[in-house]
Amino acid sequence: MSSTEQSQPQAAAPIEVPPSGRSRAGEGETHRSVPLPGLTLSVRGRPGRRAGLPAALYVHGLGGSSLNWSPLMRELADEVEGEALDLPGFGHSPPPDDGDYSVSAHARAVIRYLDVHGRGPVHLFGNSLGGAVATRVAAVRPDLVRTLTLVPPALPELRPQRTAIPTALLAVPGVSRLFGRMTRHWTAERRTRELLALCYGDPAAVSREEFEAAVAEYERRLALPYFWDSLSRSARGLVNAYTLGGQHALWRQAERVLAPTLLVYGGRDLLVSFRMARRAAAAFRESRLLALPDAGHVAMMEYPEAVASAFRDLLGETDTGRG
């Protein structure tokens, strides 16, 4: 394991990722809808800056979307041809036909996309819930994963953090809709500020333009009839995954990952505790750790240059970056 800066542990456990404020297809990006058996995925792409680059696939966290990866995809356009999925029920992807929002179901959606379109092996990225999903994909289908980058993964913590309790409660049936009714008078601006405070190490670093675009995106998503359902069911799926034992346990699957792995943890993360970095580095057999003392839960949005630099180092150290 290699490591950069170290930080003192902070609070937490997983869940919400704030909406990113960019258009459906930003400058230099493509956007398409991909029908698959039982579901339809919205896929955001950023072509590589030259032909023949290896493929990368990005998986967002709970409450997030493919937009969360736009800054990092732009940074890595010299290294990979990037695509970011909207998981079923998030972003611009409709809910899955079977209503299954478990971690395994999200992992199957990723695998199905890679299999149907012949995209593997890819450099696989995941944030929070997407990190748990990516871990499961890498464990059960090592042939699809060239490298694994987790920012950070939502893996089980033995002692839940106080700051994680409100989001963990979203997993309780009916709580999300109750919260929606209790906060029905909240403006989209207030909701966005609450999420920024939860997910960013320094919410003040978000520009006014980015904030206004994030508010508009939040308003769009609040109007979706399945918004609270997809959020609560995915939260429940993540909590349920924490209770699984044997070969399906997430930490056991982390130990099975063969791909070189980059772990990114933020010292100001209120959702996944920084102290979990040590356990993750021990679990993933070929791992490197990037510690960002001032980052929160979404380092790929706050510090895309640093994450991109660490990924390039991973490629150089493992010689896995060639097509």
- Please tell me whether residue 57 adopts helix, strand or coil conformation: strand
pLDDT in tens, 19-44: 444 445 567 899 999 999 999 999 99
The packing angle between helices 208-222 and 188-199, to 10°, is 110
At residue 171, the pLDDT reads: 47
pLDDT in tens, 71-120: 999 999 999 999 999 999 999 999 999 999 999 999 999 999 999 988 88
Residues with Cβ within 8 Å of residue 118, at least 6 apart in sequence: none
pLDDT at position 248 over 70: yes
DSSP secondary structure letters along 181-242: HHTTT--HHHHHHHHHHHH-S-GGGS-HHHHHHHHHHHHHHHTSTTHHHHHHHHHHHHHHHH
Distance separating alpha carbons of residues 77 and 80, to the nearest angstrom: 6
Specify the amino acid at residue 197: A
Specify the amino acid at residue 17: V
* Cα dist from 189 to 185, 195, 208, whole Å: 11, 10, 12
pLDDT at position 10 over 90: no
Residue owning tokens 């493919």: 66
At residue 158, the pLDDT reads: 66
pLDDT in tens, 202-215: 999 999 999 998 99
**CB neighbourhood size of 23 (10 A):** 13
Note whether 235 and 170 are within 8 A (CB): yes
User: Closest by alpha carbon to 129, among 89, 158, 186, 82?
Assistant: 89
Edge-to-edge strand ranges of the sheet holding 287-292: 30-36, 39-46, 81-86, 55-59, 122-128, 145-153, 261-266, 287-292
